[in-house]
Amino acid sequence: MKTEKVKQSLPRLLIVGGGAGGLELATRLGNSWGKRQKASITLIDAGRTHIWKPLLHEVAAGTLDVHDDEVDYLAQAYNNHFHFMLGRMSGLNRAQKTITIAPMLDEKGEEIVPERFCTYDYLVIAVGSVCNDFGISGVAGNCLFLDTTAQAEQFHHRLLEAYLRAHVQGGVRVAGQLDIAIVGGGATGIELSAQLHQAAELLNAYGLDNVKPADIHINLIEASQTLLPELPKRLSQATLNQLRLIGVSVHLGERVVAVDGQGIHTQSGLFIPAVLKVWAAGIKAPDFLAHLDGLETNRINQLRVRSTLQTTEDDHIFAIGDCSACPWPEKGPEATVPPRAQAAHQMATLVFDNLQRSIKGKKLENYHYRDYGSLVALGKFSTVGNLMGNLMGSVMIEGAIARLVYLSLYKMHQMALFGPFRLVLLMVSGFFHRRLRPRIKLH
């Protein structure tokens, strides 16, 4: 048994998951306790790079090149005084305070790195969420998901292949050759629909002109009667109108019961043909969390935590972001904090403080979710949402102002990772880079 060791004289703070919350937490801890050598901070993730998850629909459509916005974990660790370990958590031993890291395999399935074990004094689990297929027949084998960069890039490659095939043929020759079905009328499904319409226009402009934007048929399927139920009804209706205006076929009140190679089957008997099928209907935490040495989970594998964000069964283990089931008492006794980037950011801030309080033997602070509203970007066409605050209550916004606020959310994430000076440099370089590269990824 090989165990990864760190300096025994320092508290060992282990963060599993390099998403928005996990990477922000590792960066802040590294620049405080790590820099002053008051603790050893280690981040573990199964990927080599990080990208802000709300951008994955743009990667899938090709309107964002992931290599322009990804953060290299090793470089981020070097620049911010923490350690990075490549691997996927697969088990936990609370008595010995160790986690198991699964073996790493190459493309042929051959072992590169054997199973390892890593010790901790405090563990923060921030592994995010994955799409929930609810056990519906055919979803896993026939749908694409947008949980990771690799999945988003896979969708983009298949989209380009379908376009190139139709272009070389002189246009669409078979009915449904470029039909796309997206299941889930939440932010991901809506934003992907709008980006795909924009991608169709750009691909035509860049020379694939045997295929017209009208040749791509985008279907958005939602089980409920409305899109975005968390938004005010007026904005939900405005989103629906905008999608229909750009040619997206929206199917409301249609619950998917099966998926096959040809398309989507709904409970009402409707069949929606599609070559590319994307599942974006609901989330769950990764399955391995349901079997972590007695830690309490809910029905979608989220770790139950107290208001301090400590797990209910272990004071030395915290959970943040989409993988945590955090109480939201303001909304009711059974309500939990919604899986949003703003929640992960707020949780990372609290755990940063609570880890230091716990090490010093001080009383921990409680987490109170502050809902600043929701925004949905419809590509270049529009942005809608609502902002919430103590002074102004709930304010509905759309158009240019909403788009500016939407973009500022990502800048806040970058600020947490890079600081103000590097953020300004990134913005300046991005301004010129966008004018040098194609507006859509063509490979």
Give the chain's domains with CATH numbers.
Answer: 3-129+285-359 (3.50.50.60), 139-281 (3.50.50.60), 373-431 (no CATH)
Q: Is the pLDDT of residue 302 over 90?
A: yes
Beta strand residue intervals within 343-419, DSSP E: 373-378, 382-389, 393-398
Q: pLDDT of 314-324, one tens digit each? A: 999 999 999 99
Q: pLDDT-derived band of residue 384, with 50, 70 and 90 as boundaries?
A: low
Q: pLDDT-derived band of residue 173, with 50, 70 and 90 as boundaries?
A: confident
- Give a three-class secondary structure readout of the chain: CCEECCCCCCCEEEEECCCHHHHHHHHHHHHHHHCCCCCEEEEEECCCEECCHHHHHHHHHCCCCHHHHCEEHHHHHHHCCCEEEECCEEEEECCCCEEEECCEECCCCCEEECCEEEECCEEEECCCCEECCCCCECHHHHCECCCCHHHHHHHHHHHHHHHHHHHHCCCCCCCCCCEEEEECCCHHHHHHHHHHHHHHHHHHHCCCCCCCHHHCEEEEEECCCCCCCCCCHHHHHHHHHHHHHCCCEEEECCCEEEEECCEEEECCCCEEECCEEEECCCEECCHHHHHCCCCCECCCCCEEECCCCEECCEEEEEECHHHEECECHHHCCCCECCCCHHHHHHHHHHHHHHHHHHHCCCCCCCCCCCCCEEEEEECCCEEEEEEEECCCEEEEEECHHHHHHHHHHHHHHHHHHHHHHHHHHHHHHHHHHHCCCCCCCCC
* Percentage of the chain modeled with pLDDT above 70: 91
**Res 208: pLDDT:** 84
More confident of the two residues 71 and 209: 71
Q: pLDDT-derived band of residue 223, with 50, 70 and 90 as boundaries?
A: very high
More confident of the two residues 437 and 347: 347
**For residues 31-58, average pLDDT:** 94
Q: pLDDT-derived band of residue 290, with 50, 70 and 90 as boundaries?
A: very high
Mean pLDDT of the chain: 89
**Res 238: pLDDT:** 84
**Res 7: pLDDT:** 46
pTM of this structure: 0.91
* Percentage of the chain modeled with pLDDT above 90: 63
More confident of the two residues 177 and 317: 317
**Res 393: pLDDT:** 44
Q: Is the pLDDT of residue 375 over 50?
A: yes
Q: Is the pLDDT of residue 272 over 70?
A: yes
**For residues 21-38, average pLDDT:** 96
More confident of the two residues 382 and 236: 236
What sign does the dihedral 150-20-87-143 (CA atoms) show? Answer: negative
**For residues 411-429, average pLDDT:** 88
**Res 425: pLDDT:** 87
**Res 319: pLDDT:** 98
In degrees and rounded to multiples of 5, residue 133 shows phi and psi of: -90, 0
More confident of the two residues 41 and 229: 41
